[in-house]
Amino acid sequence: MAQAELNGAAIVDWTSFHAESRRAFGFPDSYSNTMDAWVDCLSYLRDADSMSAFHLAGDEVLTIVVKDAAAMRVTVPEILEEMAFCIGGINERYEDYGEPPALKLALR
């Protein structure tokens, strides 16, 4: 099972969220630190030209674990909400192409 771990205690604003995401997912140098780029990078997890360090098999799921999610709920709840919203949209994109969802969010 593929897993990426974000340190929620280190995420205090959008800049730190994108820095932590770049580290956890292995996004390319061209990653532009926006949610559009975040969605784009995680929409190609099953493609040969992956835009992250992860390359999933056809039925594999990447679990995004947010450690210290309670800290984010206090400091930056809007980022957690946006992550959940975007993961739902990314999974819908996979389903539109006849594939099973590729992402799961785990708050710890």
Q: Which amino acid is at 107?
A: L
d(C-alpha 11, C-alpha 91), whole Å: 24
Q: Backbone phi, then psi, for 6, in 5-degree steps?
A: -100, 140
Domain spans of the chain, in order of start: 2-107
Query: pLDDT digit string (tens) for 69-88?
Result: 999 999 999 999 999 999 99
pTM for this predicted structure: 0.95
Q: What is the pLDDT of residues 15-66, one digit of tens each?
A: 999 999 999 999 999 999 999 999 999 999 999 887 999 999 999 999 999 9
- Cα separation, 25 vs 64, in Å, equals 9
* Residues pairing with 66 in the sheet: 6, 107
Separation of alpha carbons 80 and 67, rounded Å = 12
Query: Which DSSP category does 66 fall into?
Result: E
CA distance linking residue 60 with residue 1, whole number of Å: 7
CATH 3.60.15.10, applies to 2-107: no
